[in-house]
Chains A and B, each alone.
Chain A
């Protein structure tokens, strides 16, 4: 069995608490990466026309 398959097998057998801990850690990571903002808030920021025009202006200057 390859290392990848062994790892997969190990992961498959994780207990309920281990899985929840894993999920919780991933949630915290996502939360940190997104600086506490929701996905909708990030979308709004990313697609804000004012922000976009500032970026365009900056890139034209450089």
Chain B
């Protein structure tokens, strides 16, 4: 692709993919670290869909959603999912490169998730701190792992004391926990746990209502997936590729090379158009508007 991509070329690529997949295509593109999912997106996605004449009383039969995001607000991730399900009976998510965190949560409403070559999802544990991607960000998972570390420390010390037949005891666990609370802040930790419960609740709603709606074991499967996504993966930015997603039990498929190339070309065009300042313009310092567009059966 030439370095000077035009919007017409982007349209052509989008219609090519839509024709190839034989479905309308909704593109939700958030530009790298300057575009995260925010509450105001809902209104604009809704408006774009309504503008094309679709709403819950005039649904699309099938829809592909091409999603590219580093994540953002989980409440919005959930509401976007419900909005999409309001206007289509069947939805497939196309992830050419990645849909992290709140983006993964949105995918939980899909009938199918199709991953491009080397594309990934992520856990939707809560990250909290001074800024997205900042080194000051704290993850709830870090707190969980610190807690495990504290338990291990206490266990090891107690074993050592037993070995040397000492009558003393250890309070290393409380000292470490006090230090962690001092550093992270008691209220912050409380907020983390509340937010995780909330994300789990949203995910459960989407999995039961849509993704596993017709499965007899949907409750068990949903609980397993939520537990793993919230508690068992090592970090918030853990990369869940096709193999990990499939092992987890998600309805994922790997795109064939042609489909993957077509989807990746769209993301590449969107990226170039954003860098050129044509789309996804800056709203403030490090925040750009997302690209939202519904392509329906014309070229």
Contact assessment for A16 and B283 in the assembled complex, using a CB-CB cutoff below 8 Å: no
Number of A-B contacts (CB under 8 A): 55
Contact assessment for B283 and A12 in the assembled complex, using a CB-CB cutoff below 8 Å: no
A51 at the A/B interface (Cβ < 8 Å)?
A: no
Interface size class of B (residues with CB under 8 A): 20 to 34
Given contacts A23-B44, A28-B283, contact A16 B11 (CB under 8 A): yes
> Binding site of B, secondary structure by majority: helix, strand, loop or mixed?
mixed
Contacts of A38 in B (CB 8 A): 38-39
| Docked complex: B1-40 residues within 8 A CB-CB of A | 7, 10-11, 38-40
User: Which 9 residue pairs of A and B lie closest in terms of their CB atoms, listed nearest first?
Assistant: A39-B39, A27-B289, A30-B40, A17-B7, A20-B279, A24-B289, A24-B281, A23-B44, A16-B7
Residues of B within 8 A of A (CB): 7, 10-11, 38-40, 43-44, 47-48, 51-53, 73, 278-281, 283-284, 289, 291-293
Pairs across A and B, CB under 8 Å, 28 listed: A11-B51, A15-B7, A17-B7, A19-B48, A19-B292, A19-B293, A20-B289, A23-B44, A23-B47, A23-B48, A23-B289, A23-B292, A24-B281, A24-B283, A24-B289, A26-B44, A26-B47, A27-B40, A27-B44, A27-B283, A27-B289, A31-B284, A36-B284, A38-B39, A39-B38, A39-B39, A39-B40, A40-B39
